[in-house]
Amino acid sequence: MTSKQRFLTALDRRTPDRLPVTTHHVMEYFLKKHLAGASSLEFFETFGLDPIEWVEFRKPDAAKGDFHDPGHSTSGPREPRRVVSSGWRIEAVELARPEYRTVRYDFATPKKTLSTVLQSSDHTSWIAERLVKDKSDIDIIGEFVTAPLCDVDAVNRAADAFGERGMIRGSICGFDVYGQSGCWQDAACLYGIQELILATYDDPGWVHAFLKILFERKKTFVRSMAGARFDLVEHGGGDASSTVISPRIFDDFVAPYDADLTRLAHAAGQRVVYHTCGGMMPILERIADLGPDAMETFTPPGMGGDTNLREAKHRVGRRVCMIGGFDQFHFFEGCRPEDTRREVRRCFEEAGPGGGFILCPSDHFFDADLDLIRAYAEEARLCTYDHESNP
């Protein structure tokens, strides 16, 4: 099989020729430090992993008078150009800070300017000041925020260029500057997860109003994805994990919105993976009930999650493809290659039976011993299926 065929077979919960083996986003820090600035595709090819190409192309809705932000240049398809309008303009102002690069983003509207502050290190970026500071700020967002459309032609050109080399992954659009795919996750980025949890008790009506605003924006984008040749579209986010929120909050504030977006994505012809980097076991069936084609990241206890792969396979493996499960913290650094190989085999034996499993680290990594990545890839390529039998 080609890598693309192998991925698609697993996503359809069938048995490919061997275990698909890959990783999540390949971090730029890792590529620069350990591989002299190689591309992500070169990384996959170097280690014999099944490649993933992340494609994020968006365009404005000209009928609404929207346009691409003239002040936003991007470095590639993983950072789509922002869509703005005469009533929703974004300006970046770099602030002098001694330790981290710090940028304030002003969202100018006819009624009020909202602002958020991001800081960045060589590893990653984080929010230092939330966009939504007053509850009335969501009314400004609801009135003026733009809703980008998927640039289907650009996505399909990228898919044609990538061919059979691997999987084309995209995502449901997050909020401008810093956001993620799920409605709850986006709200947590904009308001703060602790504040958002408290608001579900103190002012649940306001939380639902906030989520509905974010949902409507995402709905427009998801409907525009019809015809785009993604193999898999990411949804969700770690702030919906059971190590962050209760099952009740998940039921009341996550599921109604994210399930509807999943259904809309299916109507647009897209497969969906629900991303939950954190605890999953108390809400496994709840996540599967959202209707995704796949679930990730099945983070093990050694990485701060709670996944028992064998139990998860038993509970939801007939309903979804499982992606993840590998402990990159303990088996990509500071151990012997045979330890890494043993961990690969454990994952395969617990989640591989019957197919429908893609081996992947449980989210990102920034540092790794290259020999251990080789052992990871080599051992996974030895994990083969005998027709439709179990491994």
The CATH number of residue 71's host domain is 3.20.20.210
Q: What is the DSSP letter of 317?
A: T
Q: For the residues 142-155, what does the mean pLDDT come to? A: 97
Which residues, other chains included, contact 277 with Cβ-Cβ below 8 Å and sequence gap of 6+?
Answer: 237, 238, 241, 296, 297, 299, 305, 362, 363
Sign of CA dihedral 304, 308, 314, 315: negative
Q: Which residue in 296, 284, 344 sits closest to 324, CA to CA?
A: 296
In the chain, count of helices (H) and strands (E)?
A: 15, 15
Question: With the C-alpha atoms ordered 267, 245, 207, 177, is the resulting torsion angle positive or negative?
Answer: negative
> Looking at residues 155-170, what average pLDDT do you find?
97
Q: What is the pLDDT of residue 343?
A: 97
What pLDDT, in 10s, does the model give residues 5-59?
Answer: 999 999 999 999 999 999 998 999 999 999 999 999 999 999 999 999 999 999 9
Q: What is the pLDDT of residue 389?
A: 43
90 located within any domain: no
Q: Is the pLDDT of residue 264 over 70?
A: yes
Which structural domain range is residue 331 located in? 3-84+146-381
Interacting residues of 336 by C-beta distance below 8 A, sequence separation 6+:
none
What predicted TM-score, i.e. pTM, was given to this entire model?
0.95
183 in a structural domain: yes
pLDDT digits (tens, 9 = 90+) for 192-251: 999 999 999 999 999 999 999 999 999 999 999 999 999 999 999 999 999 999 999 999
The residue-averaged pLDDT of 282-287 equals 97
Q: Are 4 and 165 in contact (CB under 8 A)?
A: yes
Q: What's the pLDDT tens digit per position in 336-375?
A: 999 999 999 999 999 999 999 999 999 889 999 999 999 9
Would 141 be classed as within a structural domain? no
pLDDT for the residue 71:
87
**Does 370 fall in a domain?**
yes
Place of tokens 């061919």: 163
Q: Are strands 272-275 and 232-236 parallel, antiparallel or unpaired?
A: parallel
User: How buried is 248 (Cβ within 10 angstroms: 0-12 exposed, 13-18 middle, 19+ buried)?
Assistant: exposed
Q: What is the pLDDT of residue 98?
A: 80
List, for residues 290-331, the tens digit of each pLDDT value.
999 999 999 999 999 999 999 999 999 999 999 999 999 999
Domain count, the chain: 1
For residue range 52-81, list pLDDT tens digits in order.
999 999 999 999 999 999 988 775 545 789
Which residues lie below 8 Å from residue 293, measured CB to CB, with a gap of 6+?
11, 232, 271, 272, 273, 320, 321
Residue 391 lies in a domain: no
Q: Rounded distance, CA 300 to CA 26, Å? A: 20
Taking alpha carbons only, the member of 248, 274, 247, 244 closest to residue 261 is 274
* 12: nearest Cα among 222, 297, 271, 264: 271
> Would you say residue 290 lies in a domain?
yes
The candidate with the shortest Cα–Cα distance to 328, out of 356, 295, 360, 370, is: 360
What's the rounded Cα separation, in Å, for the pair 124 and 258?
Answer: 26
Whether 103 maps to a domain, the answer reads no
Please give the Cα distance from 42 to 51 (Å, whole number). 9
Largest CA distance in the chain: 64
Q: What is the pLDDT of residue 388?
A: 47
Q: Quick one: tokens of 138?
A: 């969501």
Q: Is 257 left (phi over 0), alpha (psi -120 to 50) or beta?
A: alpha
Q: Which helix (H) or strand (E) holds 217?
A: helix 204-223
Is residue 89 domain-resident?
A: no
